[in-house]
Amino acid sequence: MGLNTGFELFKRSENLDSLTSALFNVNPYILLQTDEYKLNAGFGIYFAHEEDGNYLKLYPKIDFQFNVVKDVIVPFISLSGDVKSHAYHNIAWENPYIRPDLVVRNTDSKLNLYGGVKGNLGTKSSYIVKLGIYTANNYYFYVNDSSLLWNQFKVVYDEGDILTCRRNYLGCHRIAWFALNANYNSYNLTKELYAWHKPKFDMTFNTRYNLRNKIIASLETYYLGKRYAKPYVRTDDALELKGAVDINLLLEYRYTKILSGFIQFRNLAASQYQYWNQYPSQRFSVMFGMSYAL
């Protein structure tokens, strides 16, 4: 048996306003584990205080997995719900062009149901394939602010379902490693026409090669599917942001343990796209330099 607790308090600067929000949660659980299976069962209690009032939520939390082939084929299933807060610094990290006075409401996830298979392929690689459905209130989506410049973002809220499919693969070797992550999300929303700025499909492939700790090569490849931005005038069509491939390469030569040089190529495909509406990405660029450590 065990108990997890958490408390988050957010207070805005008095120069802006006196808004305070808080979230307290308690999660008692029972853990049963053998060589064949693992079961974690309990529930979560969430008490939240926001600008529009207080509320209390109670959700189950059940995680179960078992070995078909020990550590190689491990099916799993999870059923839960939760309330998630959104600190300003997390929102600003996600989208650096948000309004400085933006406050994002808690997301109330009524249902988080997913299952899949995970495991290890040998001693140096692992995989996970997961399919899930999520139902929540206050999903938030970034839209351009209606100010004159249109150069900042606010959020709109909606409720609905998200069907997700995720695949992750990680492989390691003595001198190299690589990781592949692919995500598919299908949104069924109540009010909004699209999940603004959210792609249905995205994928990343990263690899790193280390030759005798002298020559280091890192390759990052991103694919971002098309997205839609909400138009300023409601009667206008949604703005389509086309998908793109972005490839970055870093080469480093370590002359000694304290002296090295590097060259970095960004956006090798010279893709011209907008991750956020009205903010085009920088096309092909090169940066080089040296590092010295005392």
Range of the domain at 109: 60-292
287 found inside a domain: yes
In the chain, where do the E strands start and end? 2-11, 20-33, 37-50, 53-66, 74-84, 107-120, 125-144, 153-172, 176-189, 201-211, 215-224, 227-229, 239-241, 244-254, 259-266, 274-276, 279-280, 285-292
Q: Which residues of 244-275 are buried (b: 16+ CB within 10 A; e: fewer)?
A: bebbbebbbebeeeeebebeebbbbeebebbe
Classify residue 191 by its DSSP letter. S
The answer to whether residue 2 is domain-embedded is no
Task: Kindly state whether residue 21 falls inside one of the protein's structural domains.
Answer: no
Residue 237 within a domain: yes
| H helices present in the chain, as ranges | 88-94
The one-digit pLDDT tens for each residue of the chain (294 residues) are 889 999 888 876 655 555 678 899 999 999 999 999 999 999 999 999 888 788 999 999 999 999 999 889 999 999 999 999 998 899 999 999 999 888 899 999 999 999 999 999 877 889 999 999 999 999 999 999 887 666 899 999 999 999 999 999 888 877 888 999 999 999 999 999 999 999 999 999 999 999 888 899 999 999 999 999 998 777 678 999 999 999 999 999 998 888 999 999 999 988 889 999 989 988 899 999 998 887
Determine the pLDDT at residue 173.
Answer: 76
Whole-angstrom distance, CA of residue 252 vs CA of residue 260: 7
pLDDT of residue 235: 66
What is the rounded CA–CA span in Å between residue 133 and residue 191? 19
- Alpha carbon distance 195, 230 (integer Å): 9
The answer to whether position 193 is within a domain reads yes
Residue 79 within a domain:
yes
CA 80 – CA 114 distance, rounded (Å)? 9
Q: What is the pTM of this model?
A: 0.87
Model pLDDT for residues 248-267, shown as the tens digit of each residue: 999 999 988 889 999 999 99
Which structure tokens are listed for 271? 């893709």
Distance CA 96, CA 108 (A): 24
Is there a domain that residue 114 lies in? yes
Q: What are phi and psi of 175, to 5 degrees?
A: -115, 0
- State residue 90 phi and psi, 5-degree precision: -70, -40
Task: Identify the CATH number of the domain in which residue 274 sits.
Answer: 2.40.170.20
- Predicted confidence (pLDDT) per residue in 86-131, tens digit: 988 999 999 999 998 888 999 999 999 999 999 998 778 899 999 9
Residue 16 belongs to some domain of the structure? no
Residues 6+ apart with CB under 8 A from 195: 139, 141, 185, 187, 189, 228
Q: In DSSP terms, which residues pair with 109 in a beta bridge?
A: 82, 136
Number of folded domains that form the chain:
1
Cα 147 to Cα 152: distance, rounded to the nearest angstrom: 8
